[in-house]
Chains A and B, each alone.
Chain A
Amino acid sequence: MQYKTICSIVFVLICNTFANGQEIRIRGDVDFSFTYTNIKAGEDYSLETESKQDGVRMDIKKLKRQAYWRVTVNKSDINWDNQVKVYVPRTSSGNGNGSVWGGTNYTLINNMPQTFMQGQGLLNNIYLQYKLSGISVELPANTYYTDIVYTLYEQ
């Protein structure tokens, strides 16, 4: 009896050791590009601009059965002008046996992580849209880069 119990414990521990944990997967990139055709002489750029509603997709995978989770978002600037603010809402609730709440309003993405949305269970194809504000001819001509980081916490 003692032998079988210890064998079971070892088996479970082995499974735990080599099992992959929860996973968040992001697919897609976002490129905002302006040209001189976007404005006429005398005008400024529209202060706000949005990406496609389905340009970036998020999958929540490999959770423990119907586990609760939350996702935080932050940005990691490579070359970014602080005059330009980045916002994200989710535009879909994804497919799968899970559910999601929060994240439908525009969330300002800072360099510090903050909770973006929460949910339960596995989901695929949660679409994300981005909005930039503060676009102006005052911005020095350049190509600006930042990384948008999503972190999944299983609860």
Chain B
Amino acid sequence: MIKKLFITSILLSCLNAANGQSYWSYDDHGLSLKMPEISLISVMPTNYTVSLSLGLPKNAGDKPGENIDSKDDNTWLNYSCSMKYRGSYRKIYAQITSGSVPDGLAIDLEVKDLQTQGTGTWGKRYSKSITLSNQPQIVVSGIGGGCTKRGRNFGHQLIYELKLTDIDELIVDDDKTYLTITYKISD
């Protein structure tokens, strides 16, 4: 009997020795981070109205032309964009979505490249300038995951210029013409 107990104790000792390294245990839990695709765009400063007027001719016989009031460079285009891995780069489109430019006139838009660095992959202007119309036109392209920072002096400076295109079509009217210019960020 003693011999059996002795053998049992040796076997149990071996078993304990085998388990004897288990002076540790572990547990775990999940941690997740969800980052969505976003495309946010804003013209800064908010609630600013661009006001343009054609300059009066200085001398009889001159055309109404450029003056300080026919240009506005006080707005900036800000955006933030997050895209999927290897997703397609975004573009910004500009168009007149309400109202129309009076006959004989045109509004040119120049979009400047960033003068203050943003974060990540920001876009570049698509062309030196466009003439605004009610059709969407690309003004910025190559936007990846990134942002311009927010506020005046960040992002793409917008320069609007009112131009005389045909004096024959120009109708003198004291009333103001209101336009809405919409910027859209998209694939």
Q: Which of A32-53 contact B (CB under 8 A)?
A: 32-36, 39-44
Check if B23 sits within 8 Å of A42, measured CB to CB.
no
Q: Which of B33-65 contact A (CB under 8 A)?
A: 33-38, 40-42, 44
What A residues does B12 contact at CB under 8 A?
10, 13-14, 16-17
Interface residue from B26, B40, B85, B147 paired with A24 (Cβ < 8 Å): B26
Q: A6-B2, A40-B150 are in contact. Are A140 and B85 (CB under 8 A)?
A: yes
Identify the closest chain B residue to A60 (Cβ).
B25
Nearest CB of B to A120, in Å: 15
Check if B154 sits within 8 Å of A42, measured CB to CB.
yes
Check if A84 sits within 8 Å of B33, measured CB to CB.
yes
What CA separation (Å) do A53 and B34 show in the bound complex?
20
Check if A132 sits within 8 Å of B146, measured CB to CB.
no
With an 8 A cutoff between CB atoms, is B155 at the interface? Answer: yes
With an 8 A cutoff between CB atoms, is A126 at the interface? Answer: no
What B residues does A141 contact at CB under 8 A?
35-38, 82-85, 87, 145
Check if A151 sits within 8 Å of B82, measured CB to CB.
no
Nearest CB of B to A136, in Å: 7
Q: A36-B40, A42-B79, A56-B29 are in contact. Are A143 and B34 (CB under 8 A)?
A: yes
Q: Is the interface of A mostly helix, strand, loop or mixed?
A: mixed
Nearest CB of A to B187, in Å: 13
What A residues does B84 contact at CB under 8 A?
140-142
What B residues does A35 contact at CB under 8 A?
36
Check if A10 sits within 8 Å of B5, measured CB to CB.
yes
Nearest CB of A to B14, in Å: 10
Identify the closest chain B residue to A109 (Cβ).
B31
Check if A147 sits within 8 Å of B29, measured CB to CB.
yes
Chain A interface residue bracket vs B: 35 or more
What B residues does A10 contact at CB under 8 A?
5, 8-9, 12
With an 8 A cutoff between CB atoms, is A153 at the interface? Answer: yes
Nearest CB of B to A44, in Å: 5
Check if A42 sits within 8 Å of B28, measured CB to CB.
no
Check if A24 sits within 8 Å of B25, measured CB to CB.
yes
With an 8 A cutoff between CB atoms, is A101 at the interface? Answer: no
Contact digits for B12-34, partner A, Cβ 8 Å, 1 yes 0 no:
11011001001111111111111
Q: Which of B85-102 contact A (CB under 8 A)?
A: 85, 87
Q: A21-B22, A24-B26 are in contact. Are A42 and B34 (CB under 8 A)?
A: no
Other than A41-B40, A130-B31, give 11 A-B pairs with Cβ distance below 8 A. Answer: A23-B25, A24-B26, A26-B28, A29-B29, A36-B38, A41-B42, A42-B78, A42-B149, A136-B119, A142-B84, A146-B31
Q: List 29 A-B contacts (CB under 8 A).
A: A6-B5, A9-B9, A16-B16, A22-B25, A26-B27, A27-B29, A29-B31, A32-B31, A33-B33, A33-B34, A34-B34, A40-B80, A41-B42, A42-B44, A42-B148, A56-B29, A135-B33, A137-B80, A137-B147, A139-B35, A140-B82, A141-B83, A141-B84, A141-B85, A143-B35, A147-B30, A148-B30, A150-B26, A150-B28
List chain A positions with a Cβ less than 8 A from chain B: 2-3, 6-7, 9-10, 13-14, 16-17, 21-36, 39-44, 56, 75-76, 84, 86, 130, 132, 135-155
